[in-house]
């Protein structure tokens, strides 16, 4: 049994490794794609998040305003459920626990990323660190 598991009835993603980054995202792309004011996002090493039925995935650019960007939104070709974000550079795979089939006991985000004070949204006050990007000590993994 995997430590983390999600997906839909047709495609499962799972990992025994912990996320390498786990944050609440405030970026405009996440807001546009999810329709949520903030989005809980977890990055895994690409090889740590496995997919049981990769042939059943439809891929489209994650950011429709940067269609050549490295992240692709993967959805189930049968039911349309969002499955994960896949990095074309094979550095990371990303899940959004509350819309990609993960249980409510998925670890909470550890900080706030991509907060923009000029957006007019009040600065988060839940005691977690707030950054204008990813946490400063985050290092992108090597791709393969």
Record the pTM: 0.95
- Domains of the chain are 4-114 (2.170.150.70)
Task: Give residue-wise pLDDT tens across range 32-75.
Answer: 999 999 999 999 999 999 999 999 999 999 998 888 999 999 99
pLDDT given for residue 36 in this prediction: 94
66-88 confidence digits (pLDDT tens) = 889 999 999 999 999 999 999 99
How many other CB atoms sit within 10 Å of the CB of residue 89? 14
Q: Which helix (H) or strand (E) holds 80?
A: none
User: Which among 7, 20, 96, 16 has a CA at the least distance from the CA of 54?
Assistant: 7
Q: Tokens 């993960």 map to which residue?
A: 102
From residue 91, how far is each of 10, 25, 88 by CA, in Å?
A: 25, 19, 8
Contacts of 122 (CB under 8 A, 6+ apart): none
């Amino acid at each position: 049994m995997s430590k983390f598991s999600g997906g839909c009835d047709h495609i499962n993603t799972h990992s025994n490794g912990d996320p390498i980054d786990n944050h609440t995202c405030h970026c405009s792309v996440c807001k546009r794609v999810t329709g949520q004011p903030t989005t809980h996002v977890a990055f895994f090493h690409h090889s740590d998040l496995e997919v049981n039925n990769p042939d059943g995935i439809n891929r489209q650019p994650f950011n429709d305003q940067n269609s050549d960007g490295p992240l692709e939104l993967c959805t189930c070709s049968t039911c349309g459920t969002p499955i994960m974000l896949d990095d074309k550079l094979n550095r990371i795979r990303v899940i959004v626990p509350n819309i990609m089939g993960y249980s409510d006991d998925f670890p909470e985000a550890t900080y706030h990323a991509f907060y923009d004070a000029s957006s007019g949204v009040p600065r988060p006050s839940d005691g977690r660190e707030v950054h204008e990007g990813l946490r400063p000590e985050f290092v992108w993994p090597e791709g393969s």
